[in-house]
Structure 1
Amino acid sequence: MTTVTATPACLVRAPREGIPLRLFCFHHAGGGASFFAPWRDRVPPEVDVVPVQLPGRESRFRERRFRDAGRLAESLEGELAPWLDRPYAVYGHSMGALVAFALVAARMRGGGRAPRTLYVGAYGAPHLTPPLPPADRYADADLARFLVDVGGLNPQFLGRDDWLQALLPIIRDDLRICASHRRAGLPDPDDEVARLPLDIHAFAGQDDPLVDAEAVRSWERYARRFRMSTVPGGHFFPREQPAPFFDVLNRSLAELITEPGGRRAEPA
């Protein structure tokens, strides 16, 4: 008898069946699952891109937002557990890297399957001070200008108070998620015994005005195996200069698909 699992609210669609590898994707602060809309046409057909939509934005705009990475990860782990039973990888961009890592850590602490690879982009490891400012540092106009400067906000939003009143509360709550990293129950990078058996591939933008390559490289302290790639572009390199980024990502995904166990049949 086949059990039908309802698609959780955090997924914009159900993952496809019969695909060798699922790639769950977590968006940046102030962003949404639509950031990953172009990815499906850019990765191999053997990879199912599954964007994760956090509450309080886009299709979930009316839902209450999280402000704590640990609580968010616990909620996501409960929602996504039925879909993490087969080979999968995870990509998190900027804030999404912290959320993705917190989810994976929660999953693995409970004895769940580890991802084939955790991909993190444009974000320093969680023992570092978050690259994004505290939620209440800037007035609305200054926060909007900061976001424009790092490429996270279209300049047309400047001076549009009606738009900013809808957007900036989302961003401020996401900044609170970033600032909660020390109480999120994440592994201590100096504790060799508690280190997760995790493969991490980190991406840095060559011209990122917010996060430098050394901060991104610091994820190595959390990895069993680590790979670092610096690609052209700024903080949002998958959108700004996608071709070089996807060249590297797709080679890595191809390795995951073809390495021993990549096509292993899993029980339904």
Structure 2
Amino acid sequence: MTTAASAPTACLVRAPREDARLRLFCFHHAGGGASFFAPWPARVAPGIDVLPVQLPGRESRFREPRFHDAGALIEVLERELAPWLDRPYALYGHSMGALVAFALAAARMRGGGRAPLMLFVGAYAAPHLTPPLPPADRYTDAELARFLVDIGGLNPQFLGRDDWLRALLPIVRDDLRICAGHRRAGLPDPDDDTARLPLDIHAFAGEDDRLVDPDAVRSWERYARRFRMSTVPGGHFFPRERPRPFFDVINRSLAGLVAEPGGRPGEPG
């Protein structure tokens, strides 16, 4: 993965490829960063340009103020990513990133912008359900760290590293505020058929996810024009824990997107 210096905007870790048949913008989980997607370019189908989105306040952008309001975050992402959404693209969001990706797609489509060929959502409940992640201030630092270990988001060796946790946990808490306030991002009402977006969604759930039940992930169907659900081996972070089964499925879906003439999504395999 190249550095942010070569990127056309701060939220991309590198410049998009001009020769790609499809751009895949990827949004990370709460407390995470774009490095979560570092292995993806070597695993996805040829012709797919994997573009991890780096939110401020972490990794290469650690000196920048973090967002804690979902509406403000989406407004900035839509503006900064707009020049790169001018050709066929898809979005993948993992955990909190699923919410961010969906809100971005909704904002783009409401404004008359080009729609994604597919919204991929992983390990997150549909927006009308209670957010699966806890409120930002429910746990003490020790309890929050243990929660992250339990869902596979933190190596247990860091439990005794107070200096490291003091750097990580404020990032996690601000991301949890984004999740808790997601309704301020202007998401469509799943009960209002007139507000339904012509959006195709492919949802992924981990078989052993201790945080998000597959039925909660399946509820994304209420927001979709066409919907597919895939349950894959692994826990909450299945792309990292059990990558091969996940990439077998998503690569078939991506191949279907690029195979269709005129940019229409194909039927995922």
- The TM-score normalised by the length of structure 1 is 0.95
Deviates more, 1:6-15 or 1:236-245: 6-15
Alignment-mate amino acid for residue 80 of structure 1: L
CA distance in structure 2 between the partners assigned to 1:12 and 1:95 by the alignment? 19
Alignment-derived partner of residue 197 in structure 1: 198
Alignment-derived partner of residue 75 in structure 2: 74
Deviations 1:200-256 (A, max 9, x none): 000000000000000000000000000000000000000000000000000000000
CA distance in structure 2 between the partners assigned to 1:262 and 1:216 by the alignment? 26
Deviations 1:113-172 (A, max 9, x none): 000000000000111111010000000001000000000001111011100000000000
Deviations 1:74-132 (A, max 9, x none): 10000000000000000000000000011111111110000000000000011111101
Alignment-derived partner of residue 266 in structure 1: none
Alignment-derived partner of residue 207 in structure 2: 206
Alignment-derived partner of residue 61 in structure 1: 62
Alignment-derived partner of residue 15 in structure 2: 14
CA distance in structure 2 between the partners assigned to 1:22 and 1:68 by the alignment? 27
Secondary structure at 1:44 match in 2: coil
Query: 1:38: Cα distance to partner?
Result: 0.1
Does 1:183 pair with 2:184?
yes
Secondary structure at 2:194 match in 1: coil
Alignment-derived partner of residue 100 in structure 1: 101
CA distance in structure 2 between the partners assigned to 1:126 and 1:206 by the alignment? 21
Count of residues paired in the alignment: 259
Indicate conservation of the 8 Å contact 1:233/1:240, yes or no. yes
RMSD: 1.2
Indicate conservation of the 8 Å contact 1:69/1:98, yes or no. no
Secondary structure at 1:50 match in 2: strand
Structure 2 residue runs of 5 or longer lacking an equivalent are 1-6, 265-269
Alignment-derived partner of residue 90 in structure 2: 89
Identity of aligned pairs, percent? 84
Does 1:42 pair with 2:43?
yes
Alignment-mate amino acid for residue 173 of structure 1: D
Q: Which runs of 4+ in 1 moved over 3 A?
A: none
Alignment-derived partner of residue 235 in structure 2: 234
- The TM-score normalised by the length of structure 2 is 0.95
